[in-house]
Structure 1
């Protein structure tokens, strides 16, 4: 099907073995911006990454966020120029294979965009549990449901839910997915405005009283759970001050920030399906705005957390939760046995469980609008390699109506199911998932090297042997 849909190779070797991919330019620049915005998601990735910042208690998070945003801007500029020069489906694979060589480019891009994304499926599932299922279940009094998702079977079921949802939204096609992510975008922003409003207009003493009330009501915690959380963390955590600044600890924070701020270029593999991608300003502003709108929001939320929740309490809650979960020696169980979710904390300020549940549901759209990023970008990399005839031609097969590369999607789903089962039932395997960010960072570095190499040889792609399609060789 793929061969008949996309044509055959010409007689003369060219930069691309075949030009008409069969995919359509279904996205606008705004769609690309929203995708970039979701890729550096403040709520899902941001809060999850920030929950580990307690490991660097002397680090100044606000300064580190600004530094990382500045550094990532250079990555945005590089990717925007590559997109404008070669707006091709497959992104990193297309650029690396043409400049660095077919073999090296294939290994580097596929390791990052294909094999490593298997590891992200359980990460997405864990985020869904700690930011949606667990807080919602506890708020509604469904303790059994919350407990189920902490079991091995519950962990695997959460992975299946994520894989099913992502598979459905990807198969709906680019146009439909764009509508889904925009609906989630606008409603999610409204929910964030409510969260920020609560944190802005209530005081820290209000939050302490609200936390103590809900800790007892929802979790059966003893009185003064706010101080109890700090005391529990103090067994293995020395506390943290928001105003502390030192250059060394600031640098140590950057790897945690990479977990959520390194991805404004996540849609680079999709720009072959974005209208006007050859105009430099369009890919640049879609990625740049996605990054810096998020940086601004993160800065605002961090300041509000410090003001109302209390920075030392927030980091103590994170330390108490993770140190107990990781069985750190001397770490007792926290009074509130749930991941410290700032959205849930903000909801505590309103003494109404229905309101709290609705807030969690609305903010859950930050997950569901973002979830498609798990497979959408990767399917285009696999499709591009199959289109070059490096992978079997069926991997480049696309549906006639929605133009979805379903062959590539299958190659993402099946291995992810296996990895998810291993993750759920073999806890000793979880350390491998620490490499999920590092491998992708190396993939991006390889693309930067390819950009430098391409700039040195020519101001535009050459149809020389060094830049031919791997399938031509």
Structure 2
């Protein structure tokens, strides 16, 4: 059979551990846990452990659905391939362009989180440990000055792209940085349990009865913050050497490891400082010049008098959002790359050098820098709920619906697809309803929906509109060239 679309030229060099590393870091147990625990301060009756486990269960059908799809259709930019070949070229283009725009809009957020959640408390804790007040002053000045914040976030974005510009550099750095992240998480858990006395002056007894409505609401935040982002192997499907072992490690093992680490981190927090102590310190701070906005602050506390270990923990925390950002780079560039190969975007965006779609990556960088200026320097921020719900509705729900068509490849796909749709709709309903009901001063609703309302609205409409316009323009251009664009989408493309 002759394919209208050529082979991609991407190399199959990713092993099982690479697939594991990509998905483990995309879920990000330490980074992903910080936000739900911050939100938990507004719903004191929520059980952290039950919320974490329930959130993991809610996403399990989606995880298995992606696993089956990737195994039977191992293609890079998998989400785009599944939707475009199931629901048609218009739906596929809207999904792809929406993801490209969303990843670009989300990039500055990740860079800002790296600064607020890691760099600032990291510098402060190192300053305290080494008795260096200059580091504490530098950390405080970054957050208080928009220009300094812009410079720092720009540096993080550039580092993410530089580490992604070569296939060998990308894969090697991802492996080692993931190992470093795991070491740091283990050390934090160890420190909280073994050096429990370090938290004694901040620990508070907790007697709030479990509220199951609040527990369900918090579980939805766990989904939006971390568990839903368990589809990293789908972006690299055509580059994984052995699909059977690669996708099993990439989906099943990585997800299991992330959930286990999340549960142990929560248990360690509850054992050391306690829920009440953690919530109180998060809201009111403590008698140390270290920001309590991040899990890192609590993770380094036992090691303030052991500088060498503290530095290792801080260095490991630098990977939390950096690795996520690196996946953003490659995911968005592979979407652009696939659109170019399907003749939706100009062909030069499909050029591959050193195993990387370089031109697609440069376009992604350009768009990200524009949104960084808008979001970081001008202060137009998107709310957590809108950002998370956008991914649920426009990405995961769409893929789940599209996957029903592929149930002829494996009957289990139909089951996982239907269960995914049900669980995702549940998350959307719970988040929106409980957010509306509790909206008020420093409440669940006001926190998750905090942001610039006009920018929130624009982020809802800009991505799908950009996808629709891209398809209409592309179809007209190809028509003038004598090419029927719809024919490209009637086949599963080669690797």
Aligned to 2:382, the other structure's residue is in SS state: helix
CA deviations on 1:371-419 (whole Å, 9 max, x unpaired) are 31121122111111111001111111111xx121011112211111111
Distance 1:455 1:308, change over 3 A: same
Q: Aligned-pair distance for 1:420?
A: 0.8
How far off its partner does 1:65 sit? 1.2
Distance 1:301 1:470, change over 3 A: closer
TM-superposed deviation, 1:53:
2.1
What is aligned with 2:33?
46
Q: Is the 8 A contact 2:291 2:297 kept in 1?
A: no
CA RMSD for the aligned pairs?
2.9
Task: Verify: 1:116 aligned to 2:120, yes or no.
Answer: no
- When the two structures are aligned, how many residues end up with a matched partner? 409
Pairwise CA distance, 1:262: 0.9
Please say if 1:245 is aligned against 2:210.
yes
| d(CA) in 2 for partners of 1:379, 1:293 | 28
Please list, as runs of the form range in 1=range in 2, the aligned pairs for 1:64-79 lying within 5 A after superposition. 64-79=51-66
Cα distance 1:256–1:241, how it changes in 2: closer, same or farther (>3 A)? farther
The answer to whether the 8 Å contact 1:180/1:369 transfers is: no
Residue 347 of structure 1 is matched in structure 2 by: 300
Partner in structure 1 of residue 7 of structure 2: 20
Q: CA offsets, 1:96-148, max 9 Å, x none? A: 0011010012102321x201112221221122112332123223222331123
Q: 2:366: which partner in 1?
A: 414
Alignment pair present for 1:182 and 2:175? yes
* Match for residue 335 of structure 2 among 377, 381, 396: 381
Give the secondary structure class of the aligned counterpart of 1:52.
helix
Structure 2 CA distance for partners of 1:185 and 1:466, relative to 1, 3 Å: closer
Distance 1:78 1:351, change over 3 A: closer
Structure 2 matches for 1:120-139, cutoff 5 A? 120-139=106-125
**Distance across 2 between alignment mates of 1:317 and 1:266:** 34
Work out whether 1:390 is the aligned partner of 2:412.
Answer: no
Secondary structure at the aligned position of 2:326 is classed as: helix
Indicate the residue corresponding to 1:212 in structure 2.
none
For 1:267 and 1:148, locate their aligned partners in 2 and report how far apart those are by CA, in whole Å: 39
Q: Is the 8 A contact 1:96 1:109 kept in 2?
A: no
* 1:157 alignment counterpart: 151
1:148 has 2:141 as partner: yes
The answer on whether the counterparts of 1:99 and 1:466 sit within 8 Å (CA) in structure 2 is no
Gaps of 5+ in 2: 128-132, 414-485
Distance 1:309 1:149, change over 3 A: same
1:241 shift after superposition: 4.4
Contact 2:15 2:241 in 1 (8 A): yes
**Shift in CA distance, 118/370, structure 1 to aligned 2, threshold 3 Å:** closer
Aligned with residue 254 of structure 1, among 201, 216, 219: 219
Per the TM alignment, residue 431 of structure 1 is displaced from its structure 2 partner at its CA by 3.5
Distance, in Å, in 2 between the alignment partners of 1:339 and 1:319 is 8
More helix by share: 2
Contact preservation (8 Å) 1:121, 1:162? no
Alpha carbons of structure 1 residues 454 and 359: separation in structure 2 relative to 1, 3 Å: closer
